[in-house]
Structure 1
Amino acid sequence: MRSAARRTVAVACALVLVQPAAFPTPAPARGRYDWPLAPRPAVVRAFDPPAQRWLAGHRGVDLGAAGDAAVISAGAGTVRFAGTVAGRPTVAVLHPDGIATTYEPVRAVVRAGETVSRGQVLGYLDAGHPGCTVAACLHWGARRGSDRTATYLNPLALVGALRVRLKPVGAWPDQARG
């Protein structure tokens, strides 16, 4: 009995994360996290981390909203910080999975050490975020690890708002060779 020869075509692919432009993302929230503003905001400026941790970059996303909009906790956790950083009112929440989310500029109604639930109001958005092209922007960040070893994450991944596409690295083969 003869077995049929199998042909395998190997194609190298690159993983490409596509950032949403300045429009609301249609993907629904998934898992333990949700958007920090309601209704779902437009992404005004995308995540653009630096090549090295000490270089300049945009370590979060800017979400467009109205001034004084309620800013809500993206997930359950403990308020790690509520105060001023570099002259801007900021709130940071540490979540049970080790991810810390940050929100600025936000006038806090919570205090450090307070336990918060997903969707709980953390404070109210101040207008005047540098580089914001709409009425007001919430700079929303996410990171894993301690202050000195933190890995910055794209917070849009927390809510399932990144589209992942595989693109070929080389040319597609015309036919399989066996």
Structure 2
Amino acid sequence: MLTSALVLLCAAPAAAYVDPASGKPHPVRVLRGFDKPEYKWSAGHRGVDMALRIGGRVVAAESGTVAFVGTVAGTPVISIDHADGIRTTYQPVHASVTQGQEVREGQTIGKLGHPVDGSPGLHWGARIAKDSYIDPLSLLDMPVIRLKPL
């Protein structure tokens, strides 16, 4: 009985989100990480850039409701509101979904467009309030790294 309790305590929780560039529960390839600015008006990187080729399929990181589909500063953007209060944003993505549409985790929401600012890949952001950005990688399982003995 003690063994079963230990197994339950040590078991990793199931991932709630998936990498929108691969559909996997862990990040496959991050090109640029999250850099939270000191102040909401300061420079920083309010998301992560995931490796994905232009025209590649982008999937919803979690089930939710499409809150926004449109263009911001010349960049095609999709935002999804999730039941846990998090809003995820994907850019530059040419949408195959519409505002108000319900989407499932892993469902294709569009295709990666050409970067407007020259940064390659998919920019994926997450926030829990209007100006409270979080590292979207914190929503994923991290892969287990095992070192071989020398």
1:31 pairs with one of 15, 20, 38: 15
Shift of 1:49: 1.1
Runs of 4+ in 1 over 6 A off after TM superposition: none
1:130 maps to 117
Instruction: Report matched runs for 1:85-104 at 5 Å.
Output: 85-104=72-91
1:158 to 134, 139, 143: 139
- Structure of larger gyration radius: 1
Q: More strand per residue: 1 or 2?
A: 1
CA RMSD of aligned residues (A): 2.2
State the match for 1:140 in structure 2.
124
Highest relative contact order (Cα 8 Å, sep 6+), 1 or 2?
1
Unaligned runs of 5+ in 1: 1-27, 164-178
- Looking at structure 1, the residues matched to 142 and 122 of structure 2 have their Cα atoms a distance apart, in angstroms, of 17
Residue 71 (structure 1) shift:
0.3
Bigger share in helix = 2
* Deviation per residue, 1:91-131 (Å, 9 max, x gap): 00000000000000000011110000000111000122525
Cα separation, 2, equivalents of 1:49 and 1:119: 27
Q: How many correspondences in the alignment?
A: 130
Question: Does 2:71 correspond to 1:84?
Answer: yes
Residue among 64, 70, 73 paired with 2:57: 70
TM-score of the pair, normalised by structure 1: 0.68
TM-score by length of 2: 0.80
* Structure 1 residue 45, shift from structure 2 partner: 0.5
The residue identity in structure 2 corresponding to 1:153 is: I
Alignment gaps of 5+ in structure 2:
1-11, 145-150
- Deviation of 1:31 after TM superposition, in Å, equals 2.2
Q: What is the alpha-carbon distance in structure 2 between the residues aligned to residue 129 and residue 160 of structure 1?
A: 30
Instruction: Select between 32-41 and 49-58 the one with higher mean Cα deviation.
Output: 32-41
Partner of 2:6: none
Instruction: Identify if the C-alpha distance between structure 1 residues 30 and 114 changes in structure 2 by more than 3 Å, giving closer, same or farther.
Output: same
Letter in 1 for 2:142: A
1:119 matched to 2:100? The reply is no
